[in-house]
A and B are shown apart, each in its own frame.
Chain A
């Protein structure tokens, strides 16, 4: 064991007294404020520099005990995220369904139709046609072959096959589909046919028919059409008149032909009332 020399003993006593003096001064208050501020500021600057170097190592070591917990937490958050994404998608789908139902309801109200909402459950070739979809309503819901299908904005197609719980709808876009349409402005009759993924086209039944770009076309009587009358088919985008006077037009469809989700099957159109014949006005001369 080392012994202290007299000089070391004196130094120890002096330093201890100085330390006690510092404690007393600090307790007296405020007199060491400058020294504290300077030291803290200098060390603070050094701490920042040191942390840039040692910080990553410290954080790595601090994270080691939590590795297992972090993995569990990450797994839990991933599951939660997936659940929230599903809810978000469901919410968006609900909003879209609501919009579609509102459109169908509006059309049913304005046209006085009985509409059966139906969800498209399958797409693709069916019933021998190319462009068709299967919906989740059928004979149980009084759906009949030939009924018109709309999405609330325009014509989607018509029912071509009915089962007890499902039905097959031929889309108006199908090349084999023919729809009798009427020009709302001029009353000209045309036959609209689908072109698959291309725009609808229509040919006027009469030569030199009065059809212009921008005219709205709705379903109307043409041949043995079974479509409900007055359903919007599309807007004329181009008119071509052949040398022989045949008028053919291209249409921008009123209804979405693809990406269908909720549609309405028109179960019943208003029969109307027996209309009275027109009588000659009183006092008129022949």
Chain B
């Protein structure tokens, strides 16, 4: 991972946390729509489970430390969300999902992530979190995530393809020449 990718990820995380706190959170209150979770999921879908879970853990931990509920809860949930999104993302890209398809998948994962987070907070005894609320907000969160996804998905896809941010392309290297004359090559990322 290059420095520019780390810087881009940090800028993205800070930006979505600020937009979440200043715009999305107040506008969707009391429905717990989470733009950072959606970003983690969409990035996971396109960039794979490794980047998805790393971004999810980092973003979640930062959000945890900036909030008043137990630290590590969102980190754990968004870690899982990024991981699952990365695994399912392969299926989505193989089948050629467009923006709406990816947004729908992200919405499903976002709603599930929100539900799990609510249940976990209710179990841990965090104030104002109950299992009933976590279940009640599943559908509204899913719908809101789907709408937000229509904006976030093209944006993330474009950014991940941008020069300096996209993952390095595999480079072929000649390692041996078989007696038959066939060339053996290995790929290094």
Whether A43 pairs with B72 at a CB distance below 8 angstroms is no
Chain A interface residues toward B at CB < 8 A:
1-5, 7-8, 11-12, 15-16, 18-23, 25-27, 32, 35-36, 38-40, 43, 46-47, 50-51, 54-55, 57-58, 61-62
In the bound complex, CA of A227 to CA of B105 (Å): 101
Chain B residues with CB under 8 A of A43: 17-18, 21, 66
Q: Does B155 contact A (CB under 8 A)?
A: no
The closest CB in chain A to the CB of B29 belongs to A62
Q: Are A1 and B22 in contact (CB under 8 A)?
A: no
**B37 interface residue (CB < 8 Å to A):** no
Query: Separation in Å of the A11 CB from the closest CB of chain B?
Result: 7
The verdict on A47 contacting B18 (CB below 8 Å), with A2-B48, A15-B53 known, is yes
| A19 and B79 within 8 A (CB) | yes
Which residues of A have CB within 8 Å of B48?
2
Contact between chains at B76 and A23 (CB < 8 Å): yes
**Would A16 and B19 be within 8 Å (CB), given that A2-B49, A2-B90, A58-B27 are in contact?**
no
**B49 contact set on A, CB distance < 8 A:** 2, 4, 8, 12
- Complex contacts, A51 vs chain B, CB 8 Å: 22
Find out whether the CB atom of A54 lies under 8 angstroms from the CB atom of B75.
no
What CA separation (Å) do A275 and B79 show in the bound complex? Answer: 117
From A2, A26, A55, A61, give the contact of B70 (CB < 8 A): A26
Could you pull out 16 A-B pairs where Cβ atoms are within 8 angstroms?
Answer: A4-B49, A4-B83, A12-B79, A15-B79, A16-B80, A19-B57, A20-B76, A23-B73, A27-B70, A35-B71, A39-B62, A39-B65, A47-B21, A50-B21, A58-B23, A61-B27
With an 8 A cutoff between CB atoms, is B140 at the interface? no
| Shortest Cβ gap from B81 to chain A (Å) | 12
- Of A21, A40, A55, the residue contacting B72 (CB under 8 A) is A21
Q: Which residues of A contact B73 (CB under 8 A)?
A: 19, 23
Q: Which of B18, B26, B89, B124 contacts A62 (CB 8 A)?
A: B26
The answer to whether residues A19 and B72 also contact, given A1-B91, A58-B26 and a CB cut-off of 8 A, is yes
